[in-house]
Structure 1
Amino acid sequence: MFTSGPAWVRHAIWWHVYPLGFTGAEPRSTGDTPVTHRLGHLHAWLDHALELGASGLALGPVFASGTHGYDTTDHYRIDPRLGDEGDFDALVAAASARGLRVLLDGVFNHVGRGHPAFRAVLEQGPSAATAPWFRLRWPDGPWTPGTEPGYDDFEGHHHLVALDHSCPAVVDHVVDVMNHWLDRGASGWRLDAAYAVPTTFWAQVTERVRARHPDAYLMGEVIHGDYTAFVTEGGLDAVTQYELWKAVWSSLNDRNFHELAHALRRHDGFLERFVPYTFLGNHDVTRIASRLADPGHVAHALVVLATTGGTPAVYAGDEHGFRGVKEDRAGGDDEVRPPFPATPAELSPIGLPVFHLHQELLGLRRRHPWLHAARTSVLDVSNEFLSYASAAEGQRLVAVLSTAGGPVGARVPGASGVLAGRARLDAPGTPGARAHLDAGGWAVLAG
């Protein structure tokens, strides 16, 4: 069985925003945090997303939480640091008026300690109606007020209380939350830490959500493991393609295109069953401009994103060459989640060449929507040179990448012209066609 998601996803290119950072929200929220209408800050950036070439806005967490958004305290309330439900409705309406869809970030593996379901447990003990929602361990003997249970958490973070996904009430809650916001105009969900949740749970949720919203795009965050099995067993449309993300920057830094060639062959295997969610950066990783040893290789990385099968996403700021290093410490995400100015006009012009590169390659992607589910075959590979063909629906293009310190040439059978980048072609349109690149060059070639 093959899934490419709802029909509209064929044309989807996401601009991914982490709203709490983007809008400069304070780092912590309490029960009495006043509502501050910051979501409107995004309105001035919607035309920027269009000019970039995006067709959708992928939002990080927008629901009430205690800190970074992934410690949800109310799935039905917009975080007061961002605004209220009216602000959300206005953002969806403004995006929709421009043809931009909205993808939400749902944290359903765990909740924050301030979530009412867990507060009830702390206040009422084992008799709380929501006690079955969690994997709890109570001390021996009768419960007394103030006695707190042990509980499973998310990867050792004690403030993130893991849900019990075998509990029918948890299934009901997640289905209701997802439908609630889809009813309000969202087009789909990114399911945070999906890898930590049994696929049997996702299968129940996705079946029920699709019964009401068959056009919703449901994508899970999965880092390692069997991507295809996760999609198939969980009833999802896609998972995050971390394998390809890692191979892109690692192969460029190591000048070892064999790693990327291997990842592309793996990626092609995934495309037999589903269309992965592809990216070069997100709110959880070092920005691509900082990750790459040679800033000139941002173009090479972007070529891979634009010309291989997948549903691509650009993390806000990457299109202007933003830098930022993710560190494993308190506040270690701050560099990759910075506040943005009031309007795109206030960005430094230093980033414009990178922006124009994104426009060129994402524009190429939009003109070739068949690339969404294209199959990729490696044509030629060495440590410092890679060429591959992407094809679907009787159409084909060829990408050529070089990290060599001097000119290189290689066979590119059938390539007939240059669509992007720079290359010189010998015998174009023939089985013996050859592409010649300058040192560190790249190009995208027609069929």
Structure 2
Amino acid sequence: MSKSVHTPDWVKDAVFYQIYPDRFAKSSRVQKANNLQPWGDTPHPHKYQGGDLLGVVEHLDHLVDLGVTAIYFCPIFQSASNHRYHTHDYYQVDPMLGGNEALKELLDEAHKRGIKVVLDGVFNHSSRGFFQFNDILENGPSSAYVDWFHIHGWPLDPYGSGPANYEAWWGMKALPKFNTNTQAVREFLWDVAEYWVKFGIDGWRLDVPNEIDDDAFWREFRRRVKNVNPEAYIVGEIWGDATRWLQGDQFDAVMNYLFTRPAIGFFGSRSLDYEQVRGTGYEHIDTMDAQAFAGHMQHILTMYPKEVVLAQLNLLGSHDTPRYRTVTGGDETAYQMAVLFQMTYPGAPCIYYGDEVGLSGGKDPLCRGAFPWDKPETWNRKALDYTKKVVKARLSHAVLRRGDFKVLYAQGDVLVYERTLEGERAVVVINASTREQQVPLDLSGEYLEVIGDNRVRLNGQITMPARTGYLLV
């Protein structure tokens, strides 16, 4: 392990918001193609709905009002797919999103509002339309770029039913895998990483970085990015134990799915939709009681250095998973308890766009629905208000962002924990059962219950309504 582990200081205080660009918002300032799916239709694997970056600019005030301080974007570079994980040109923002000029405007406007911007870097594989791969398709063994990919024979078959004859991510012909043993490829990818940080982005989320099984590659990636901006955030998509990458010399943090699974299994234990779990990156989710949940959540805090723990991206769902409401069977109380826990647990919370207004959606692509700006009457206003309150609480109390975490009580369906920092203390009480509970509490006197903005007098216990959480300061 590196002697000193440092992660960006701003991340420790951040509230992230993940945006799927094609589905968040669209602006009349960006010229549109004709064959678009109507906004809000059932998401389709291949169809576009026309979201763009200027649409995001025009709705930044919604994010400010919510309390968001950082945006993590799914890929935005030129691509022939609505998700844009099939990169054609790593130096061009997709024209459908508004091009490089739109990203510049977005960065300027976001930064004016104190919002950081993190982009998705897809460096393990490209697309069939990527220039160097296309050159191989045109010129075969005579191409100057045959060593940019893993070619196993000729001819290549990128669209037919025969063997591809080249390595591709999970065998998907549309995603030819880079040969990162080739120095030119390494230099190309490192240059892309540097270029956009110089352009003004605040970090990279790395798509399937474990597929580039080369610590030296990622060490140099980090060195080059941090040389441009020492406070740039590097967060990897790792679904399990990420110790290998979190020694202080590769990534700052990872998408914390070790947080997500138990947050579904505990708060959604009575309504978990197992069918939504099957065939996803979750693989399997165990339902659990408070004691098991507390044990797991305490354990993952010990897996990595504290600098890493405070920078972990804690999410309740993403573009790769069913939405939280859907996987927990539509139980609104599960969402409320989960987002309260998310906002009061160590690490950087990340809201998946639309969760705050009640969006639902099953497995990919259904989890990638359009934000209903045109139908505000469909918004879950109670969820929006609740999310704003818990986000505001996190931003208002340093103890919730940087304090130590300790479980005080975990029995049945009741969890009590505290955060402490330099004499400041916050206590969270969550009753996940379907009945009112008398909960022993080592507190006496008057406290503010932040979510309800009520003063409560305590004398060694508290009466907790069913399926409810309190934040006491």
Alignment gaps of 5+ in structure 1: 141-146, 327-331, 428-432
Q: CA deviation at 1:228?
A: 2.5
Question: Which of the numbers 79, 82, 93 marks the counterpart of 1:65?
Answer: 79
1:348 is the counterpart of 2:377: yes
Q: CA deviation at 1:233?
A: 6.7
Q: Note if contact 2:417-2:428 (Cα within 8 Å) is conserved in structure 1.
A: yes
Q: Note if contact 2:400-2:426 (Cα within 8 Å) is conserved in structure 1.
A: no
- The 1-side partners of 2:458 and 2:139 are apart by 77
1:215 is the counterpart of 2:231: yes
| 1:156-179 residue CA offsets vs partner (Å, 9 max, x unmatched) | 322111112232222211221111
Q: CA deviation at 1:395?
A: 3.0
1:78-157 paired onto structure 2 within 5 Å: 78-139=93-154, 150-157=165-172
| 1:264-322 residue CA offsets vs partner (Å, 9 max, x unmatched) | 11222135341311111211111112222322121110111100111111111001111
In the alignment, what sits opposite 2:21?
19
1:282 is the counterpart of 2:318: yes
In the alignment, what sits opposite 1:54?
68
Q: Note if contact 1:406-1:439 (Cα within 8 Å) is conserved in structure 2.
A: yes
Number of equivalent positions: 422
Question: Which of the numbers 350, 355, 360 marks the counterpart of 1:313?
Answer: 350
Q: CA deviation at 1:2?
A: 6.2
Residues 413 and 204 of structure 1, relative CA distance in 2, 3 Å threshold: same
- The 2-side partners of 1:117 and 1:336 are apart by 33
Q: CA deviation at 1:109?
A: 1.1
Q: CA deviation at 1:193?
A: 1.2
In the alignment, what sits opposite 1:297?
334
Residues 351 and 52 of structure 1, relative CA distance in 2, 3 Å threshold: same
Q: Note if contact 1:60-1:104 (Cα within 8 Å) is conserved in structure 2.
A: yes
Tell me the SS of whatever aligns to 1:418. Answer: strand
Of stretches 365-374 and 414-423 in structure 1, the one that deviates more from structure 2 is 414-423
Off by >6 Å, runs of 4+ in structure 1: 27-30
In the alignment, what sits opposite 1:337?
368
- The 1-side partners of 2:192 and 2:184 are apart by 12
Q: CA deviation at 1:94?
A: 1.5
Q: CA deviation at 1:61?
A: 1.0
Of stretches 121-130 and 243-252 in structure 1, the one that deviates more from structure 2 is 121-130
In the alignment, what sits opposite 2:57?
43
1:359 is the counterpart of 2:393: no
Could you tell me which amino acid in structure 2 is paired with residue 397 of structure 1? A
In the alignment, what sits opposite 2:297?
264
Residues 272 and 409 of structure 1, relative CA distance in 2, 3 Å threshold: farther
In the alignment, what sits opposite 2:447?
417
When the two structures are superposed, what TM-score results if normalisation uses the length of structure 2? 0.82
Q: Note if contact 2:353-2:371 (Cα within 8 Å) is conserved in structure 1.
A: no
Residues 96 and 150 of structure 1, relative CA distance in 2, 3 Å threshold: same
Tell me the SS of whatever aligns to 2:362. Answer: coil
Tell me the SS of whatever aligns to 2:343. Answer: helix
- The 1-side partners of 2:135 and 2:186 are apart by 19
Tell me the SS of whatever aligns to 1:436. Answer: strand
Question: Which of the numbers 250, 262, 266 marks the counterpart of 2:265?
Answer: 250
Q: Note if contact 2:207-2:237 (Cα within 8 Å) is conserved in structure 1.
A: yes
Alignment gaps of 5+ in structure 2: 27-31, 37-43, 156-161, 271-288
Question: Which of the numbers 9, 12, 23 marks the counterpart of 1:10?
Answer: 12
- The 2-side partners of 1:376 and 1:202 are apart by 31
1:217-232 paired onto structure 2 within 5 Å: 217-224=233-240, 226-232=241-247
1:149-228 paired onto structure 2 within 5 Å: 150-198=165-213, 199-224=215-240, 226-228=241-243
Q: CA deviation at 1:65?
A: 1.0
- The 2-side partners of 1:278 and 1:16 are apart by 11
Q: Note if contact 2:399-2:426 (Cα within 8 Å) is conserved in structure 1.
A: no
Tell me the SS of whatever aligns to 2:201. Answer: coil
Q: CA deviation at 1:349?
A: 5.6
Residues 395 and 167 of structure 1, relative CA distance in 2, 3 Å threshold: farther
Q: CA deviation at 1:148?
A: 8.9
Q: Note if contact 2:236-2:251 (Cα within 8 Å) is conserved in structure 1.
A: yes
1:351-430 paired onto structure 2 within 5 Å: 351-414=380-443, 417-421=447-451, 426-427=458-459
Q: Note if contact 1:29-1:66 (Cα within 8 Å) is conserved in structure 2.
A: no
Q: CA deviation at 1:391?
A: 2.9
Tell me the SS of whatever aligns to 2:239. Answer: coil
In the alignment, what sits opposite 1:329?
none
In the alignment, what sits opposite 1:430?
none
- The 2-side partners of 1:409 and 1:49 are apart by 37
Could you tell me which amino acid in structure 2 is paired with residue 314 of structure 1? I
Q: CA deviation at 1:336?
A: 1.7
Q: CA deviation at 1:373?
A: 3.9
- The 1-side partners of 2:340 and 2:401 are apart by 14
1:436 is the counterpart of 2:463: yes
Residues 413 and 37 of structure 1, relative CA distance in 2, 3 Å threshold: closer
- The 2-side partners of 1:148 and 1:325 are apart by 32
Q: Note if contact 1:39-1:88 (Cα within 8 Å) is conserved in structure 2.
A: yes
- The 1-side partners of 2:45 and 2:301 are apart by 43
Residues 407 and 309 of structure 1, relative CA distance in 2, 3 Å threshold: same
Of stretches 271-280 and 412-421 in structure 1, the one that deviates more from structure 2 is 412-421
- The 1-side partners of 2:404 and 2:185 are apart by 38
Could you tell me which amino acid in structure 1 is paired with residue 388 of structure 2? Q
Q: What is the CA RMSD across the aligned residues, in angstroms? A: 2.7
- The 1-side partners of 2:425 and 2:220 are apart by 38
| 1:174-194 residue CA offsets vs partner (Å, 9 max, x unmatched) | 221111111221111111112
